[in-house]
A and B are shown apart, each in its own frame.
Chain A
Amino acid sequence: MKYYDKLIFELSKPGRTGYSLPAAACPSETSGCAGPLPSDDGPLPLTMPRVARFPKGSCCQAADSIVWREATLDLPEVSEVDVVRHYTNLSQMNFGVDTGFYPLGSCTMKYNPKINEEIANMPGFTGLHPLQPEATVKGALEIYAGLDKALAAITGMKHFTFLPCAGAHGELTGLMLMREYHMSRGDLARTKVIVPDSAHGTNPASAAVCGLEIVVVKSKADGLVDVEALKPLLGPDIAGIMMTNPNTLGLFERDIKEIAKLVHDCGGLLYYDGANMNPLLGMVRPGDMGFDIMHLNLHKTFSTPHGGGGPGSGPVGVSDKVVPFLHIPHVSGFHGNFGIMLRAYAYILMLGREHIKLAGKLATLGANYIKESLKDCYKLPIPTVCKHEFVFDGLLEDNGVSTLDVAKRLLDYGFHAPTIYFPLLFHQAIMIEPTETESLETLDAFIAVMRKIAEEAKADPEMLHGAPHNTPIGRPDETTAARQPVLKA
């Protein structure tokens, strides 16, 4: 990767343009409206002309209206080639799944198949207006129906809503459905939701946005939810529990049957956080474990690209008893992120009923393989078989070298860093998730580098404190960034 310093604004030169627009379709003399025509090739003044260009006339009553912009619009003036080179240069300072391995725990950075992109870009899909009559979008509606059926088959839920645009958005929608269910029964006192201490940060945040109070249930030393600690929390004020299974330590919550019974018996519902669905793909269905509501991250489990932080898609599935409320929360503009659904559906059709049975297993195998190969250099607080991910608690012999140092040194060796300092149960957490699309050779290369870093920690801890050394920039001054924020050029 090569450092490139420019902002697009710094390439600007007055008079350059990168646009290509048609000549006026309807010159003013034919329309009878002396509108603000760009029929001449000369530059227009910087502010939208008012009186001069909007003379009073039949169609321009508010000719001298106050509704037009006064301020200069300071956008870059650059040619097409400037734009292409600038963004190509920027892209070369970026790491992606196509560049290399992402062992990012709870993020499921699997390979993004290319056929998916072609399908999502078919003009028969990209040209559809969201408000077109049903008769003109039959193919699109079939995609919703087909994907609904496929996801229901995979998860054991009944139906899905596709409005949520991301996982956290799905959580929020799912909690809204939980509240609708209780409200429909006149059960208005259920204002609390139970969240394990190992949960993703979005769980409590989504609950708060949904107007619910959060009750935290502790994990035991073995990393699993403490059923005995859960029991006294249950009562007529509990709307439900949000569970991640396997949890963020990559451990399957074995007591799920008892938890489900306890929560249902107290009148609550079970919410399944689909962020960790990948190891269950083709093996276990949340619906069968007693979950009433769940979301899926199509950008994790179903291979759609993360796009540098979106667009994702977080469809929410529900069991029979929640289906009647599925249409109620209108959580986004039109029909959700259709383009992402196309990609996920294409992936499911490639997997088919045959290959899906291997997806979760291979993801789980990879995680366990890394765990077993590194546990003699990194602290493994929970040594049991994991699912798709597991957590180290820093180096065995840290010599003052932190998890952050290890993560930053990995960048030097061409790997993305794992998720670090999460879950909060450990001080030096390193959360590793390889996914099923990584080969044995890739895993071995990663393991070799992790071992090398453990050696470096013994020999030269100073060097690690300063890592990374081979990236376009070194560690940033985050304190100044937060204390004196510069958020725009």
Chain B
Amino acid sequence: MGAFSYFPQTEEDIRVMLERVGVSSLDDLYADVPAEYIYKGEYDLPSAMSEQQVRDFFEGLAAKNSRLKVFVGQGAYDHYVPSVIPYITSRSEFLTAYTPYQCEISQGTLRYIFEWQSMICRLTGLDCANASMYDGPTAAAEAVRMCVASTKKRNSVIVSARLLPHVIDTIRTYAKYAGINIVVTDKVAEEVAEGVLDLAGVIVPSINRFGIIESHLGLADLVHKMGALLVEYCDPSALAVVKTPAEWGADIAVGDGQSLGIPLCFGGPYVGFMACTEALMRKLPGRLVGQTTDASGKRCYVLTLQAREQHIRREKATSNICSNESLMALWCTVYLSLMGPEGMRKLNALCYEGSHYLHDALLATGKFARVFDGEFLKEFCLKPLCDVEKLQQALLDAGFFAALQTEEGYVTFCVTEKHTREEMDRIVEIVKSVK
């Protein structure tokens, strides 16, 4: 076997090292492993490829995917990714760093996580945010666990049926094994008012799976009167313009940072966020970065309140989460820095306008009926009066991923600042042509 670019040891190096260790061959290093467990067969893997062969292999696979114009949201939004972001996040000092346990040589990571926490607080209006979670759905599931852990002897959580299906599925999964009682309902306020006996929390979407911005007027008071916590699941990009979890009186906010400049990438890596009121700070799962000073008085940043975490508390930790999605939090932090308050507002205005243009034009074709009256921002839902499969296929044939069907049979569309008037007009033409 020839030399391999990822292994720097020459044959002579290996000889020197074996001699120091006092064994005569590499295999001798495994003398303590029962012989029956040493794999003697040929691994069922392809023969080693050169870098160019690997590149060709993946280019071939990439070519088997269709490049579509994405007019669907449902938890993954096709916003533009400013070129600065991949440029910064691919810096090897960020990309190849470990979790910032050694703060003296990790101030870069710690500082941007602190900025991320600050920006999540500013978007949600809440007091503190953690260093990030795996994704929005797992953040929602952790929030449900946090409700149960923060209320005494209460074990039921009401989950809005208007959350995205993959969010509900993830909550149900975590709750099933933890023995948490989940009540999924379309009528959250009514259910709360009826008085679930051991209600620990309620989780509702800021913008629901039909794209409607929900009003949670009075809900927080009702939930708090029952001794429970209110969690809101949010699209952080939309939080620049829609009422914040704090304004609705929520105790915890969670969601997915994907809409803040992270590519679709077939569903991941994304990043979850979690923010809460100060009262719940020590119940937060995951890493937290705090500001302090070093011995000479220089401002610096460290991982803090670690007594909540698994490496200290083991089974008594607030969660088993160890790593977060640090680099993806950097994506969002750079994104929000570039956009600023003005950019975020204009971006949302573009989404609002584009989506309303398409919404009205689609309705005007007579192929759809309206189903919801509430205000929407970039995603909306219509009832199809035509053959949905034919519609979807016609759109796909023209290079559009649009009109994804919900379980009720409605179709959803999503318009972002990336989409042009020409594309939307083309979609409308295709819709008109479908029988």
Contact = CB atoms under 8 A, between A and B. Distances in A.
A487 B289 contact: yes
B327 interface: yes
A346 B290 contact: no
A276 interface: no
Given A19-B82, A308-B106, A309-B324, A98 B300 contact: no
Interface residues of B, number: 212
B172 interface: yes
Interface stretch (A228-236, A263-271, A365-373): A365-373
Interface stretch (B37-45, B189-197, B221-229): B37-45
A71 B247 contact: yes
B315 A205 contact: yes
Contacts of B371: none
Interface residues of A, number: 213
Given A48-B345, A332-B138, A350-B6, A98 B96 contact: yes
B78 interface: yes
Contacts of B27: 361
**Residue in A86, A209, A362 with the greatest tally of chain B CB atoms within 10 Å:** A209
Given A166-B322, A384-B32, A440-B13, A335 B61 contact: no
A481 B375 CA distance: 43
B202 interface: no
A296 interface: no
B177 A121 contact: no
Contact of B21 (A60, A365, A480): A365
Contact of A333 (B90, B100, B267): B267
B373 A119 contact: no
B88 A84 contact: yes
Interface in B212-269: 213-215, 217, 239-244, 246-247, 256, 263-269
B205 interface: no
Interface in B294-344: 294-296, 298-300, 302, 304-307, 309-317, 319-328, 330, 333-334, 336-344
Given A168-B321, A252-B32, A310 B314 contact: no
A67 B59 contact: no
Contact of B107 (A62, A90, A438): A90
A475 interface: yes
Nearest to B126: A488
Nearest to B116: A488
Interface in B114-158: 114-115, 117-119, 121-123, 125, 127-129, 131-132, 134-138, 145
B48 interface: yes
A330 interface: yes
Contacts of A349: 46, 48-49, 53-54, 57
Contact of A385 (B23, B76, B239, B271): B23
Interface in A87-102: 87-88, 90-99, 102
B424 A26 contact: yes
B350 A73 contact: no
Interface string A27-56: 110111101111000011010100000000
7 contacts: A35-B353, A87-B91, A87-B334, A150-B45, A211-B178, A308-B113, A487-B289
Q: Give 9 nearest A-B pairs by CB, closest first.
A: A124-B62, A352-B48, A334-B267, A307-B327, A130-B267, A19-B343, A94-B108, A139-B64, A311-B269
Given A350-B54, A474-B295, 19 more contacts: A7-B111, A65-B375, A93-B105, A122-B58, A133-B392, A136-B68, A139-B65, A153-B45, A169-B320, A208-B315, A309-B98, A310-B323, A333-B75, A336-B267, A339-B265, A346-B58, A368-B29, A411-B102, A474-B294
